[in-house]
Structure 1
Amino acid sequence: MTSVRHARVPARSTHNPSPPAPRRWIWLAAWPVTAVFVLSNAATPLYGLWQREIGFSRGVLTVVFACYIAGLIASLLVSGVLSDRIGRKPVLLPALALALLACGIFATADSVAALIAARLLTGIAVGAAVSAGMAAVTDVAGPDRTRLAALLASCAMVLGAGLGPLLSGVLSELAPAPTVTVFAVEAALLVSALVVAVRMPLRRPDRAQAPASWIRIPSVPRANRRQLALGIAVFAPGITATSFVLSLGPSLLSSLLGTESRMVAGAMAFVMFLAATAVQFAVRALRIRSVLLAGATSTALAMLALIAAVRTESPALLITAAILAGAGQGAGQLGGLTLLNSTIPARRLAEANSALNMGGYLPAGALPVAAGYLSDAVGLSTGATVFAVLLTALAALGAVTVLRVPAE
């Protein structure tokens, strides 16, 4: 039985890996992931603006958010296996092009249908980024730097996710034509990511070692299922918590602070993902078991703070909940990616990344939508409380799952 503390590292030569690249390329390889994730949450501070201009409920808002999850999951069904079969670039480059198309639709959106289309395309691009993009970082890093690759890929994801709403909130308040300006800036970032992706030093995989089927539910080798399950058990509650803050956090802020400021909403999301980034650097030297337990504990504490925030109408507690939620996602994500990077053969790594993210994003899409419609029916405070109680239980279950696996 492979322990959580010391994961065995198998030989990774079956993927015909690239020779070691200069260290700067490990950092550069993470930029396309960051750029796509900037787009993933750039719309968050703008939902209030669109709600006023177009007119839709909190329930519809969470459906728009969930369409992103639907596109992401559909992408994960294909992009991981496809990337392992034909290479990282042939998957990553079209994904960046789709992200650019989504920017154009967001910039001119004047209906719920347009928002849904833009979110769907964004989800498809993000699905490719978390499978092919993150695997590309590991491929560029080489077999001797897998832990560094996991750290950079994970931080690229959460840092981009935090920069998106911050840039969007600031630009939409201070610049003319808010939506056009926000997504024009994001398009420029994506173009730079395309340049990096084209020049990335990667080899194509050995097709003789590629998976037989093109579309399937992402999985891992039988020997690695325990590592995948442990990662999902902690990562899923963490990313579900941050998804709730992204989708309904601005509504809660408006209720508690009486403000519609997009900068405030964007700043809260940025602080949440800044915490997700910082915690990964803080715990990177810990044993994986400790990292996962820290993630589960942070998510549970975040939900307790959320309950207290809505019951006492405290903005400070809401910000605390967001910070703890970010820490929970960051630690759970880092622990899960590190387990996969250190144990999965490179020829299955993108598919393994897809499996981890699918396990996380399924509840991250479903539960906030349920909370949104429940909030429409019984009130935002009650809906948020029910959501928080359920997620606290899931986070506790994740901690118990980790504790049940032998440490040695």
Structure 2
Amino acid sequence: MFSQHTLFSRFGIVIQSISLFLVFATANATVPLYPEWQHKIGFSHVGISVIFIAYHIGVIFALLTFRKATQPQTIKKLLLVGLGSAMLAAIGFASANIIEWLVISRMFVGIASGIFASLGVAQILRIGNYLNVSYTPLLVTVATVLGFGVGPLYSGITADLSTHHLLIIFGLFFGAMLICSLLIVTASSDGVAASSATQPPAPVNLAKALMVTGMFAGPFALSGLFLSLGPSMISRLMDNDSRALAGTIPFLLFGFGVCVQFVLKKLSYRRMVIYSQLLSYAGAIVIIAAESLHSLVLMMLSALLIGSGQSLSQLAGLTMIKLWRPLGTLEKSSGFLFFGGYAVAACSIMMLGEVSAHFGLMSATIVFLLICLSIMTIAFARFIQDTARNSACSL
């Protein structure tokens, strides 16, 4: 029944986008469960940071290892490897009783995320280019951002309502990814090679790749704060360990970001960049205020601001990647974009855990924000400079 379908079609775009969503939803469904695991297994904020870093190690490994794949059959097999890794992680999360098991599971789902962030995203953008589907950058961004938001909300609500929540949460993801795997296995990859032939490699421009990645990496790392230490921060601010509440904050962050994307989707990528950077700056300032005043309202406001900034920066980044392919191909360019985001997030979150253990969470948060904002500022300044130069040349 499925053999009539091909990955090189609108069906292929849809099934690969759903797979992309499921992988990121599985990866982030763990967010509201950290306080529970922390209490049951027994580990500190540094332990949470280690678990978070393990995910980024898996992502970076996959981005560096698989981003050069170009043959349709190879990409198809690697997408199946990604889904398989995510399914193994789901089994691990459902049965974890030691921190090492959580670390290994996070690394597996990180590998899955890295494969889909590079090959999956590039495949969707390429097919969209060839079929003249203009909305693929928006579709890819919505799929990933919704995964970041829906995963924690679903797991948090389920955890508060059911005593067997781990089996229910990760069993559903396992089943859905298994269905996607079967659809991809039985679909033909005919025609994908044709799109590569019509799009020869673009000239390599490393400076442009670094600029685009820097403007995305800062907001991406800021959103990582809510996915790593967010639940613990909320629990402390409210003296409430509700897992549904812990899952609501990431959902607000990324769900609001999706809404902003749809409202502003017709903006030029230049305006998207400007708005994304300003929203991220504002969100960082509000985080400091929320920590200083122990205000949940301000914490939620910062989540909305940073979620909007992150979502717009990702949409703008993917739009520029699709237009310029600054590293020659879509695989290398999109892989580098997400590599930069995950690398900055991993290093800054690891630093956050270490500094907070010695100097407290407030001091660590300030240093973390300074790192993220510095990277954003350098890249954004280069973007403004390039935009001004291009405007002057066109006069």
CA 1:320–1:19 in structure 2 vs 1: closer, same or farther (change >3 Å)?
Answer: closer
Q: What is the CA distance between 1:400 and its match in structure 2?
A: 1.6
Contact residue 134 and residue 153 of structure 1 kept, 8 A:
yes
Aligned length: 380
The code of the aligned residue for 1:139 comes to R
The code of the aligned residue for 2:265 comes to R
In the TM superposition, what are the counterparts of 1:201-240 in structure 2 within 5 Å? Answer: 202-203=189-190, 222-240=203-221
CA 1:321–1:398 in structure 2 vs 1: closer, same or farther (change >3 Å)?
Answer: farther
CA 1:227–1:287 in structure 2 vs 1: closer, same or farther (change >3 Å)?
Answer: farther
Which residue of the partner structure matches residue 248 of structure 1? 229
Q: What is the CA distance between 1:201 and its match in structure 2?
A: 5.6
In the TM superposition, what are the counterparts of 1:37-116 in structure 2 within 5 Å? Answer: 37-83=24-70, 86-116=73-103
CA 1:20–1:191 in structure 2 vs 1: closer, same or farther (change >3 Å)?
Answer: closer
- Matches of 1:88 and 1:241 in 2, distance apart? 31
Q: Give deviations 1:19-77, integer Å, cap 9, x for gaps.
A: 9734x553333111001011110111110000001111101111110110000000001
Contact residue 203 and residue 327 of structure 2 kept, 8 A:
no
Which residue of the partner structure matches residue 3 of structure 2? none
Structure 2 segments unaligned to the other structure (5+ residues): 1-5
Q: Give deviations 1:320-355, integer Å, cap 9, x for gaps.
A: 111111111111111111111123399821222111
CA 1:262–1:19 in structure 2 vs 1: closer, same or farther (change >3 Å)?
Answer: closer
Q: What is the CA distance between 1:197 and its match in structure 2?
A: 2.7
Q: Give deviations 1:356-388, integer Å, cap 9, x for gaps.
A: 111111111110111122112122222223322
Q: What is the CA distance between 1:223 and its match in structure 2?
A: 3.9
Using structure 2 for the length normalisation, give the TM-score.
0.89
* Of 39-48 and 226-235, the range deviating more from structure 2: 226-235
- Matches of 2:357 and 2:326 in 1, distance apart? 46
In the TM superposition, what are the counterparts of 1:176-325 in structure 2 within 5 Å? Answer: 176-199=163-186, 202-203=189-190, 222-325=203-306
Q: What is the CA distance between 1:392 and its match in structure 2?
A: 2.9
Q: Give deviations 1:259-291, integer Å, cap 9, x for gaps.
A: 111100101011111122222222221111111
Contact residue 340 and residue 352 of structure 1 kept, 8 A:
yes
Which residue of the partner structure matches residue 21 of structure 1? 9
- Matches of 2:321 and 2:220 in 1, distance apart? 18
CA 1:397–1:84 in structure 2 vs 1: closer, same or farther (change >3 Å)?
Answer: farther
Structure 1 segments unaligned to the other structure (5+ residues): 1-17, 211-219
- Matches of 1:347 and 1:198 in 2, distance apart? 29
RMSD after superposition: 2.4
- Matches of 2:312 and 2:270 in 1, distance apart? 11
CA 1:96–1:36 in structure 2 vs 1: closer, same or farther (change >3 Å)?
Answer: same
Contact residue 8 and residue 190 of structure 2 kept, 8 A:
no
How much identity, in percent, do the aligned residues show?
Answer: 28
- Matches of 2:114 and 2:7 in 1, distance apart? 27
SS of 2:241's equivalent?
coil
Which residue of the partner structure matches residue 379 of structure 1? 360
Which residue of the partner structure matches residue 217 of structure 1? none
- Matches of 1:365 and 1:252 in 2, distance apart? 19
The code of the aligned residue for 2:115 comes to A
